[in-house]
């Protein structure tokens, strides 16, 4: 019976190597959760074997997927099924599979938050009753909003605020500062805390952004993962932490402004689109920074 269901899920697909998957991703593009290094390194951490599958058209690889059984590799459902849900946190990441333009595929592995880029190109997609929050372009903010952000940045600097590169910290320092600030902000334990330093070290080439200190004390930090496709740059804003002692200076807002604007500047300098995801559109503050976009699922 299990063999029957696997044959049904994989109908139209054939096994490929990790190297073939990597080549497809770099040719057709993808997102953070489907990036070959994320798939390989985090799967090794969990001990969950990866099955790579390819969609061939006239002998050419036109799409690829990395799976854990019936689930997409690195998915929350896959982690939960294997009893590994607290090993790492990728939030509700946008799923962009490597797929050639002008092709249509049938995906039958369980997947959520599939990008609207695949609409009309994956025949098995169903509309999801949730949305993703993608950062607005700089021109989409009102003049008042932009003025307020510049004003907050100036006031923060006058009170001893300093922007520093998160990537200048060691992975252990990143994990410590982020965890401390996250727990001060939210009041509960940082997701994946026990392995966070290890995860950040594994993903070090893809960690991005700045953090803020005020008079030498960490005040705001965010976990951002960045990957680059041929036509776009994907950034996943996993979550952030802020020390409430500094709320009057709005370091979290200032940091969000700095990180998003830096990403837009970089993407435009390269002539690429930017897909800067705040994850599920589930909080009011995200609506200030983002527009909501539809996503899809396979059940």
| Among candidate residues 114, 131, 148, the one where a domain is terminated | 131
Structural domain harbouring 58? 2-131
Same domain, 127 and 172: no
Same domain, 13 and 61: yes
Same domain, 126 and 141: no
Residue 18 covered by a domain:
yes
Q: What is the pLDDT of residue 6?
A: 66
d(CA 168, CA 145): 30
Q: Facing residues of 297 across strands?
A: 126
- pLDDT tens digits along 145-168: 999 999 999 999 999 999 999 999
| Among candidate residues 109, 131, 153, the one where a domain is terminated | 131
Same domain, 111 and 188: no
Residue 14 covered by a domain:
yes
Q: What is the pLDDT of residue 156?
A: 96
Same domain, 110 and 59: yes
Residue 17 CB neighbours (<10 A): 10
Same domain, 85 and 58: yes
Residue 34 covered by a domain:
yes
Residue 299 covered by a domain:
no
Same domain, 40 and 120: yes
CATH assignment of the domain containing 195 = 3.40.630.30
Residue 298 covered by a domain:
no
Q: What is the pLDDT of residue 8?
A: 54
Same domain, 156 and 34: no
| Among candidate residues 113, 131, 149, the one where a domain is terminated | 131
Residue 187 covered by a domain:
yes
DSSP letters of the chain?
Answer: -HHHHHHHHTTTEEE--HHHHHHHHHHH---GGG-HHHHHHHHHHHTPPPEEEEEEETTEEEEEEEEETTEETT-HHHHHHTT-TTS----S--B---B-TT--B---SBEEEE-GGGTTTBTT-EEEEEEEEEEPPGGGS-HHHHHHHHHHHHHHHHTTEEEEEGGGS-HHHHHHHHHHHHHHHHSSPPTTGGGHHHHHHHTGGGEE-EEEEETTEEEEEEEEEEEE-SSEEEEEEEEEEE-GGGGGG-HHHHHHHHHHHHHHHHHHHTT-EEEEEEEES-SHHHHHHEEEEEEEEE-
Indicate the DSSP class of residue 296. E
Same domain, 69 and 150: no
Residue 68 covered by a domain:
yes
The domain total for the chain is 2
Same domain, 289 and 170: yes
Same domain, 107 and 9: yes
Residue 206 covered by a domain:
yes
Indicate the DSSP class of residue 249. G
pLDDT tens track, the chain, 299 positions: 445 456 656 677 999 999 999 999 999 999 999 999 999 999 999 999 999 999 999 989 999 999 999 999 999 999 999 999 889 999 999 999 999 999 999 999 999 999 999 999 999 999 999 999 999 999 999 999 999 999 999 999 999 999 999 999 999 999 999 999 999 999 999 999 999 999 999 999 999 999 999 999 999 999 999 999 999 999 999 999 999 999 999 999 999 999 999 999 999 999 999 999 999 999 999 999 999 999 999 98
Same domain, 247 and 153: yes
């Amino acid at each position: 019976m299990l063999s029957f269901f696997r044959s049904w899920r994989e109908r139209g697909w054939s096994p490929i190597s990790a190297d073939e998957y990597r080549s497809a991703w770099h040719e057709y593009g993808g997102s953070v959760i489907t990036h070959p290094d994320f798939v390989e390194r985090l799967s090794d951490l969990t001990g969950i074997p990866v099955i790579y599958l390819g969609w061939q058209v006239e002998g050419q690889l036109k799409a690829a997927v990395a799976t854990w059984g019936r689930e997409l590799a690195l998915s929350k459902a896959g982690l939960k099924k294997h009893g590994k849900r607290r090993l790492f946190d990728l939030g509700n990441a946008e799923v962009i599979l490597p797929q050639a333009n002008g092709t249509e595929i049938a995906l039958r592995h369980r997947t959520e938050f599939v990008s609207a880029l695949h609409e009309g190109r994956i025949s098995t997609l169903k509309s999801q009753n949730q949305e993703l929050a993608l950062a607005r372009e700089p021109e989409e903010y009102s003049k008042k909003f932009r003025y307020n952000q510049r004003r907050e940045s100036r006031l923060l600097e006058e009170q001893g605020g300093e922007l520093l590169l998160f990537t200048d910290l060691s992975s252990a320092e990143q994990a410590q500062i982020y965890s401390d600030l996250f727990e001060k902000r939210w009041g509960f334990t940082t997701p994946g805390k026990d392995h966070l330093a290890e995860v950040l070290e594994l993903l070090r080439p893809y960690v991005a952004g700045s953090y803020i200190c005020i008079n030498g004390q960490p005040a705001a930090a965010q976990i951002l993962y960045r990957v680059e496709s041929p036509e776009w740059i994907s950034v996943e804003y996993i979550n952030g932490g802020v020390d409430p002692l500094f709320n009057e200076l709005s370091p979290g807002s200032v940091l969000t402004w700095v990180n998003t604007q830096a990403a837009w500047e970089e993407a435009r300098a390269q002539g690429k689109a930017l897909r800067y995801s705040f994850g599920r559109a589930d909080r009011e503050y995200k609506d200030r920074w983002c527009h909501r976009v539809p996503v899809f699922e396979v059940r």
